[in-house]
Amino acid sequence: MINLDNVTFRYGRKQPVLQELSIQLKPGHIYGLLGSNGAGKSSLMRLMAGLLYPTDGHIRVNGREPRRREPAFLEDLFFLPEDIDLPAITFARYVATMRAFYPRFNDEQFRAYLRAFQLPSTIGWLDELSLGQRKKFIISFGLATNTSVLLMDEPTNGLDIPSKAQFRKVVSAALLPDRLVVISTHQVRDLDALIDAVVLLNDHELLLNAPLEQVSQRLRFEISGRDLPADVLYAEPSLRGHAIVRENVDAADDTPIDLERLFNAAISSPQRMKTLFPAQKR
């Protein structure tokens, strides 16, 4: 469980990047952390990992304060940063060294993940891997640590299209009831059919924190003709008319969620989104 209580964060004396953020993230879920460039996704992940400290407010991860970086905290959280700088050592040496920090690291799983990503387990020097190969290697390692919290910052950057599909498959299979996964991205389509809850940052604050089930109960994703319905939150021209997001006023059947349209609707109608999703903890 990750709990943020009124967290404000700023770099030095600059304007706050995150302001009075209160969020609760629960195990058994894969959260998609969304936001425009510079919205503060990486900063938030680094705060959760204890690599940055809140200017104000409190963060608890499984009851522990990340900033203390206690061994029990570190062995139960894996953070995959956006830029992966692997050392100039061999695959075998890296695994032998790093696995010692994660008591639940599972070698068999690790090799299965590498196979799923079509990376040979005979990789040589890590600094000679391409960006996509480095990502696949570290994603496989992170999943195999079996930590209860897994934070991944832009993990799909650098992955080719088949690998993105493989990523979704592998991560969803690795979700267990006691595991909490947070994946940040600005390429929201990469998270289609993977996440089951969305956390959206906008304008330094939390705009949306909702399970997708709730999103589809409260919003409809439709194609409309030229005349847009009055309750539309967002519309974009499409080949067949307008692709729209509107309120699900009469609780009609669910429509499939389009994450990109959800994102655009939230950014363009923030006040209506807040009214529609008055999160217990915002």
Q: Which residue from 4, 17, 152, 171 is in contact with ligand ATP, where contact means CB under 6 A?
A: 17
Sign of CA dihedral 144, 145, 150, 151: negative
Q: Which residues pair with 23 in a beta bridge?
A: 4
For residues 37 and 130, which CB has a smaller minimum distance to ligand ATP in the complex? Answer: 37
Q: Which is nearer to ligand ATP, 64 or 186 (CB)?
A: 186
Q: Which long-range contacts (CB under 8 A, 24 or more apart) does 112-115 make?
A: 113/139, 113/140, 113/143, 113/144, 113/170, 114/140
Query: How far apart are CB 29 and ligand ATP at their closest, in Å?
Result: 21
Q: Is 41 a residue that touches ligand ATP (CB under 6 A)?
A: yes
Least distance from ligand ATP to the Cβ atom of residue 200, Å: 11
Q: Is 276 in the site for ligand ATP (CB under 6 A)?
A: no
Least spacing, CB of residue 267 vs ligand ATP, in Å: 13
Nearer to ligand ATP, 259 or 276 (CB): 259
**String marking each residue 175-204 x if it binds ligand ATP according to CB under 6 A:** -----------x------------------
Give backbone dihedrals phi and psi of 87, rounded to 5 degrees, phi first: -70, 165
Torsion angles phi and psi, residue 54, rounded to 5: -65, 145
Among 24, 38, 143, smallest CA distance to 135 is for 143
> Is residue 38 within the footprint of ligand ATP (CB under 6 A)?
yes
Nearer to ligand ATP, 17 or 210 (CB): 17
Radius of gyration of the chain (CA): 20
CA dihedral 29, 35, 40, 41 (to 10 degrees): 30
Tell me the residue type at 33: L
Least spacing, CB of residue 227 vs ligand ATP, in Å:
36
| CB nearer to ligand ATP: pick between 199 and 276 | 199
Q: Which of 1, 6, 11, 72 binds ligand ATP (CB under 6 A)?
A: 11
Question: Minimum distance between the CB of residue 171 and ligand ATP, rounded to whole angstroms?
Answer: 19
- Judge whether 100 and 134 are in contact, CB under 8 Å: no
Q: How far is the CB of 262 from ligand ATP (least distance, A)?
A: 17
With beta carbons less than 8 A apart as the criterion, state whether 102 and 145 touch. Answer: yes
Residues of the shown chain interacting with ligand ATP in the complex, contacts defined by CB under 6 A: 11, 17, 35, 37-43, 186
